[in-house]
Amino acid sequence: YTKSQTQSINGRLSYTEPLGKNFYIEANYSYNYSRSKSTKDTYDRLTGVRDDEYSSNITNTVHRQSAGINLRKQEEKYNITIGASIQPQKTRNITQTGSFNRDTTLKVLNWAPNARVDFNFSDYQMLRINYRGQSSQPSLTQMMPVPDNSNPQRVTLGNLGLTPSFAHNLMMMYNSTNTQTYASFNANMNLSYRMNNIVNASWNDDSGVTYTVPMNNDRGSWNAGTFIMYNTPIAKSKFSIMSFTNGNFSTGTSLVGDKDIDPTSERSYLNLANYTQNIYRTVSAGENLRLVYRDDIFEVSTGGGTRYSRTFYSINEKTKPATWTSNVQGNFIAKVP
């Protein structure tokens, strides 16, 4: 039986001062407080007695602050914002399980530059480039040191030593509409790099039981994706073509453990020397094409798409062949009086 409670409070203040010649400076401060408590009670199936080894109480308190300053230039055709913030964070975990008690406090200080550029080429054409940094806190479930044996063949362990991860996110968006042909074009690109992200480390023992524990990944992970949409009428007819194209590339790491790891010893299952890094790279791309007929009463569309995906692993025996997924679709709409 597991019971969880969470309370949080947050607020943000900002002040903007004009500097002249369409320059502005902004100072901002935000504060976030959260307190989560999770209680897990496990009972022996036969006797009904509470099992202290698999029961726990864990309280997690987080104080997260952010203080930043931004400089903005605002013109008719473009807007530019450049700034940075510092983000101190204090986390306290109190864990009680059986005879085991631990009170740990972790303090981290992140800093995050941010930038945004908007180009308004016309009322029907614009480009936006945006960057932002963001930190993420490990969850209570990931940090709970008590084994989760609800599935005896797949046991999950916790890691009180997890630290927050930090992500750099870059986004680009371009929109264009041709008012004479009514054709529209939209392109989006996202790029992110996450440092110290949390990954799963797993191993199998001699009896076939799979153990999993979350660990911080010092290699980091990348993700890049793009989406392109184009829609145009066919000449002056009531037919139009819509095209959706997307692609994605990502990297990551999982940890494959030695079968001799002791699941009852933190020194054993939290020791990175007992694991082999399995680095994976995933590539995917897709295309969807639709033909649409539209008048005042009927709208009919038909089309199809295909998607390619493949993942490559540094541990060769885990590499799987490429997969193709295809689909066809149709849609009919009638407007009745």
Q: Which of 135, 134, 3 is nearest to 59 (CA)?
A: 3
| pLDDT value, residue 44 | 77
| pLDDT value, residue 315 | 80
Distances (CA, A) of 337 to 43, 286, 296, 297, 333: 64, 39, 11, 9, 13
Structure tokens at 29: 């401060």
Going by C-beta distance under 8 Å and a sequence separation of 6 or more, which residues neighbour residue 268?
261, 262, 274
What's the pTM?
A: 0.74
Distance CA 147, CA 136 (A): 24
Question: What distance separates the 2 farthest-apart alpha carbons in the chain?
Answer: 79
Provide φ and ψ at 267, rounded to 5°. -60, -25
Asked if 209 and 249 touch (Cβ cutoff 8 Å), the reply is no
Distance CA 314, CA 281 (A): 9
**What number of other Cβ atoms are within 10 A of residue 89's Cβ?**
19
**What number of other Cβ atoms are within 10 A of residue 7's Cβ?**
10
Per DSSP bridges, beta strands 56-74 and 23-40 are antiparallel
- Residue ranges, the chain, pLDDT below 50: none
Per DSSP bridges, beta strands 154-156 and 2-20 are unpaired
Asked if 246 and 224 touch (Cβ cutoff 8 Å), the reply is no
Q: Which of 198, 140, 142, 188 is nearest to 167 (CA)?
A: 198
Q: Strand pairing partners for 185?
A: 176, 230
| pLDDT value, residue 1 | 64
